[in-house]
Amino acid sequence: MSESELRQRARRAISQNEKNDRKDAILFAADELLREQNIPAFTMDVLSTRLDIARATLYRYFTTKEEILLALWEQKSTRWVDSLLESLNKEMSDEEFLSCFYEESFRDPLYLQLRSLLETVIILNVSDDVLAASRSRTLRRISALSDHCSKCLSINENEGLHLIVALGALILGGLQVQSNPIRDTETMTVQVARQKSAQSLDVLFFRNAKFILEGIRRAR
């Protein structure tokens, strides 16, 4: 989408379809900005400048920047679920399933960045109505995914839900360790610690993910 097309879609909104187009244009611009700068630097002022629209116009659609981040995370979460639903199948081994889950989670780096801020930053600055609607949509998506996972792994849907939540937490925890490695001042520099964490993230995931899946099956 060109800059002129982006601005035109963001400015004009009369019908409901056009309003939806405007929201999409705003989220598209937000996505671009977040790939160019870090999330803390993202503001409504910067976004309105990118779209060449007044801040007041932007606030008609999203009342806070966190509301935009929430909508953007929802968009990416939907794509993540859709990709997994398309990729996962009953013929997969446990290892292939976990590999697919891991790879799809990292396909869009912004997905995990936004997910890591969801509970601690984003939901604290959106209205109750917006949050409730978002959680309802998210639950429907995750329910569809847990049902699909249960069929692929021969577990029940509730176990599939627990697995998805646990694997997601495992990835986020690994990323947190990677970004803030423990420093052993006697044997390791911070730079070396970061490199070690990056190299071990996938090892950490697959080792513990197997234990989680085995534990779910044993707990029946």
pLDDT for the residue numbered 213: 96
Q: Which two tokens stand for residue 196?
A: 């070690």
Q: Where is the domain boundary, 62, 82, 108?
A: 62
Asked if 4 and 50 sit in the same domain, the reply is yes
- Mean pLDDT along residues 24-36: 95
Q: For 28, phi and psi rounded to 5 degrees?
A: -65, -45
13 and 51 inside one domain: yes
Q: Residues 124, 22: one domain?
A: no
Residue 62, classified by CB atoms within 10 Å of its CB into exposed (0-12), middle (13-18) or buried (19+), is buried
Domain boundary among 16, 40, 62: 62
Question: Do 2 and 98 belong to one domain?
Answer: no
In total, the chain counts a number of residues equal to 220
- Mean pLDDT of all residues in 147-175: 94
- From the number of C-beta atoms within 10 Å of its C-beta (0-12, 13-18, 19+), residue 119 rates as exposed
Higher pLDDT, 11 or 59: 59
User: Does one domain contain both 30 and 100?
Assistant: no
> Is the predicted pLDDT of residue 15 greater than 80, yes or no?
no
Q: What CATH number does residue 90 fall under?
A: 1.10.357.10
Would you say 170 and 208 are in contact if contact means Cβ atoms under 8 Å apart?
yes
Nearest to 109 by CA among 73, 68, 64: 73
Do 88 and 190 belong to one domain?
Answer: yes
Place 131 in a pLDDT band, splitting at 50, 70 and 90: very high
Instruction: Reduce the DSSP state of residue 191 to 3 states and report it.
Output: helix
Q: Write down the mean pLDDT value for the chain.
A: 87
Give the pTM: 0.82
Q: pLDDT tens, 166-207?
A: 999 999 998 887 776 544 444 545 455 455 555 578 888 999
**Long-range contacts, stretch 11-15, CB < 8 angstroms, 24+ apart:** 11/52, 11/53, 11/57
Is a pLDDT exceeding 90 seen at residue 5?
A: no
Q: Do 56 and 131 have their domain in common? A: no
Among 32, 20, 25, which Cα is nearest to 9's?
25
As for how many domains the chain has, the answer is 2
Q: What is the mean pLDDT of residues 27-50?
A: 94
Residues of the chain with pLDDT > 70: what percent?
84
Name the domain boundary from 62, 79, 114.
62
In terms of domains, do 24 and 53 share one? Answer: yes
pLDDT at 81: 97
- Inter-residue contact 160 to 146 (CB < 8 Å): yes
**Domain hosting residue 22, numbered range:** 1-62
Same domain, 194 and 127: yes
